[in-house]
Structure 1
Amino acid sequence: MVNYEQILSARVKEVQPSGIRRFFELAAKMPHAISLGVGEPDFETPWQIRRAGIQSLEKGQTFYTSNWGLAELRNQIAALVRRKYRLCYDADKEILVTVGGSEAIDNTIRAIVNVGDEVLIPEPSFVCYKPLTQMAGGVPVPLPTRAEDQFKLTADSLRAAITPRTKLLILPYPNNPTGAIMTRDELQAIATVIKDTNIVVLSDEIYNSLTYGPDRHVCFAELDGMKERTIVVDGFSKSYAMTGWRLGWAMGPKELMRHICKIHQFGIMSAPTTAQFAGIEAIRTGEDDIERMREQYDLRRRYLLGELRSMGLECFEPQGAFYMFPSIESTGLSSDEFCERLLHEQEVAVIPGSAFGESGEGHVRISYSYSMNHLREACSRIRKFLQTLQAEK
């Protein structure tokens, strides 16, 4: 009889399954359920981008690319970054095309973190950072953020968390699940804390094109002295509605990127060739599409915020990504209890805040990457659910 408990890696056994996928799977079994749980654009990938992928197949462009990715795609990424941030990266040695932003995050953590190294992770934040740190043998150190601070990482909390074992800081802004952003001055305060350390920054900027306030997104590598210590992760999934294409990139100093590429080289080989040709077209012609989708997300954002507040749920106004993170503490339920009951009583799926770290407890994540009709029906059901809870008191 095989003893699987002895066979499995202790690090992998320690990792808990994603709280997002659990509610997604439950909702998928309910034919009338409305899911506001997955952070995926409801827009189709723009036609000219799909056409570029189709044409690459018709031309027989189905072979491996360089480990680093197609040279033309890397040149397009370098040009995009120059336009947006006035940052110059060597397309041959400092930009790596990956299988989505997720692979870029994983490879970066594994390339930098030794067993016992501490990784500072602002929370609430996306579910992958902690498990990937654990599987690399690192020690995740949560940095709780609060609604009172607009869920932003503060210089004081960062300074207090740094120890001689600190190796990596993850900066996940615009933030999933809160929708928080960081201004230039706020990021500069973070940079000031780490400028005289040997700490590397993994800046996950996958939502950089989706901000709604007056301030444009600031790439952390723009700040003085930060480019040399920052790996920026970005991709096509959110901005261009290309989640299923699985295409992203990492960029940073060549001294780090050549080692990150080694992990990619042996684990993946190269990102999907068809997706890379589509990505070239996305950067070349997709800016108007980004703006069109961003405007729609903003309409949904304002509608959902108004609805939640009118229901009596306290809610921080997000300025980035496409998530709302309302407090449900007034209901007296834990975030898990709230989500379980909402799903079974009104067939609406949202995600418990606790899935994004302990500091997410008392909140739920609601994605507004869905149509207005979808959101209207969901809000009607959530309102009925809250009325039921009120009647129980």
Structure 2
Amino acid sequence: MTDDLLARHQAVLPSWVTTYYGAEAIELVSGSGRRVTDNSGKSYLDFFGGVLTNMLGYDVAEVREAVERQLATGIVHSSTLYLIRNQVELAEKIARVSGIADARVFFANSGTEANEAALMFATNHRRSSQILAIRNSYHGRTFAAMAVTGHRSWSASGLSPVQVSWLHSGDRLRGRLKGLSDADHIDAAVEDLREVLATTTAGDVAALIAEPVQGVGGFVRAPDGLLGALQKELDNHGILFIADEVQTGWGRTGEHFWGYQAQEVRPDLITFAKGIGNGFALGGVVGRAELINAVPQISFSTFGGNPLATAAGNAVLDYVLDHDLQANAKRTGDILLSGLRELAAETPALAEVRGRGLMIACEFCRPGTTEPDPVVTLRVTDECRRRGLLVGKGGLYGNVVRMGPPLTLTEDEAREGLAILAEAIRAVR
């Protein structure tokens, strides 16, 4: 880095704001389509999309033009004390696609803020601060969102504004429910929920919050229908269900528009963010009117749903629907998943390939065991970078390569990225 930007970063930003690639950290200076370029002129195929945020890729004309039209008005911010046409139009579209009848939409700036708001709606409605959450989950970095995050690497405080009881994750590789058939896994999870409700709660739990696919946790996915089975028990107690769709929404999983739709569950509240802004700060909650309207005092978000971000959001959602990116995610995701599973058959260290649509993970363990191997994982991500492919890293033990390419990924780009990833894994092996 010619001006030692890394040293300047380390001198003024907190030590816990880390960067990928250690001393070889890169600065991205331009992007187009699914490719980005660093300040040395090296180009990369981006399979991580700003942590699944650049959902359409880079320099998308429809989004750029929508934002430029709003900028040309001179109104970047007005606050919700005034009507915002872009906000109303986007809320109408999200309410329509949510699957929730008589829905209301509250806009925030991020997935963290969205989850914080959803927890506030649920606890306020139920008059209870008790929450059910899932082990290995990630819901954000603010006080309540962090409290319901079941991933120690992201738990920056042991303090909490809510009382949390934990349910088992859908991990098939390790843990108490590993190795079970889908049906047995679901039965065991329901029994676990009943025991938790009977033993670790006061009986008036507000809500269960769950990711249909655990993002930061390494794209861990429970058996289809598990959340629906849990909801049957929740309904016996009046407990609400919050679907955290920050990473799984907008067609990313390919087979469904929302991740919850594979789970036979009816969310009371859905949180969203990341991809809907394609890089602009935009998140929110869509849910049943009686829950979101139940806030007892006047409130708003200063920047949430601002004219600029919602101009982008409208263009993004229109693009997703007009170009059927859900189907494209299924098509290109199948190319990647089938190729990676073939690779796993010849790679003992590649313990599991999992995912759905363009939400794909490779978990690395010491050969013949389920002992996580974060060293090999780090080397694979480095080898990918050297060969021109950007991927993410995650999982409870830091041993999972995560991929969430833009939903506009072409079949040729899917094969190109697959070839680079295979070269990287073989080089490390």
Q: What letter is aligned with 1:385?
A: V
Which residue is 1:232 aligned to?
Answer: 270
Matches within 5 A, 1:274-289: 274-289=308-323
The answer on 1:24 being equivalent to 2:39 is no
Which residue is 1:380 aligned to?
Answer: 423
Output the CA distance in 1 between the equivalents of 2:81 and 2:21.
Answer: 34
Output the CA distance in 1 between the equivalents of 2:227 and 2:398.
Answer: 27
> Relative to 1, partners in 2 of residues 1:33 and 1:158: Cα closer, same or farther, differing over 3 Å?
farther
> Relative to 1, partners in 2 of residues 1:67 and 1:232: Cα closer, same or farther, differing over 3 Å?
farther
Which residue is 1:257 aligned to?
Answer: 292
> Relative to 1, partners in 2 of residues 1:97 and 1:39: Cα closer, same or farther, differing over 3 Å?
same
The answer on 1:172 being equivalent to 2:201 is no
The answer on 1:317 being equivalent to 2:350 is no
Q: What letter is aligned with 2:214?
A: N
Which has the larger helix fraction? 1
- Is residue 247–residue 271 contact of structure 1 (8 Å, CA) maintained in 2? yes
1:137: Cα distance to partner?
1.9
1:366: Cα distance to partner?
2.2
1:321: Cα distance to partner?
5.1
Which residue is 1:64 aligned to?
Answer: 78
- Is residue 113–residue 136 contact of structure 1 (8 Å, CA) maintained in 2? no
Output the CA distance in 2 between the equivalents of 1:24 and 1:69.
Answer: 41
1:192: Cα distance to partner?
0.7
1:197: Cα distance to partner?
1.5
Which residue is 1:11 aligned to?
Answer: none
Output the CA distance in 2 between the equivalents of 1:63 and 1:45.
Answer: 23
**Count of equivalent residues:** 349
Matches within 5 A, 1:64-213: 64-66=78-80, 70=84, 72-83=86-97, 85=99, 87-90=100-103, 94-110=104-120, 112=122, 117-126=129-138, 128=140, 131-133=146-148, 136-142=160-166, 143-147=168-172, 148=179, 154-162=189-197, 163-165=200-202, 166-176=205-215, 177-178=218-219, 180=221, 183=224, 185-206=225-246, 207-208=248-249, 209-213=251-255
> Relative to 1, partners in 2 of residues 1:362 and 1:250: Cα closer, same or farther, differing over 3 Å?
closer
CA deviations 1:55-79 (Å, max 9, x no partner) are: 1111223232427984554444444
Name the Cα RMSD after superposition: 4.3
Output the CA distance in 2 between the equivalents of 1:124 and 1:309.
Answer: 27
Unaligned stretches of 5+ in structure 1?
1-16, 355-360, 387-393
Q: TM-score by structure 2 length?
A: 0.65
Which residue is 1:306 aligned to?
Answer: 342
The answer on 1:248 being equivalent to 2:286 is no
1:101: Cα distance to partner?
2.8
The answer on 1:353 being equivalent to 2:395 is yes
CA deviations 1:36-72 (Å, max 9, x no partner) are: 6663347226321221111111122323242798455
1:276: Cα distance to partner?
0.7
- Is residue 147–residue 159 contact of structure 2 (8 Å, CA) maintained in 1? yes
Which has the larger strand fraction? 2
The answer on 1:330 being equivalent to 2:367 is yes
Q: Partner of 2:363: helix, strand, or coil?
A: coil
- Is residue 174–residue 180 contact of structure 1 (8 Å, CA) maintained in 2? yes
CA deviations 1:156-189 (Å, max 9, x no partner) are: 3332322434433112014323252664x43431
Q: What letter is aligned with 1:382?
A: I
Q: Which is worse superposed, 42-51 or 272-281?
A: 42-51
CA deviations 1:207-230 (Å, max 9, x no partner) are: 2312244x675757x979x56xx2
Which residue is 1:367 aligned to?
Answer: 403
1:337: Cα distance to partner?
3.8
1:27: Cα distance to partner?
7.3
Q: TM-score by structure 1 length?
A: 0.70
1:105: Cα distance to partner?
0.8
CA deviations 1:267-302 (Å, max 9, x no partner) are: x45333211122223334431342475243443333
- Is residue 78–residue 89 contact of structure 1 (8 Å, CA) maintained in 2? no
> Relative to 1, partners in 2 of residues 1:320 and 1:164: Cα closer, same or farther, differing over 3 Å?
farther
1:204: Cα distance to partner?
1.1
Unaligned stretches of 5+ in structure 2?
1-14, 27-39, 149-157, 173-178, 407-412
- Is residue 52–residue 281 contact of structure 1 (8 Å, CA) maintained in 2? yes
Which residue is 2:151 aligned to?
Answer: none
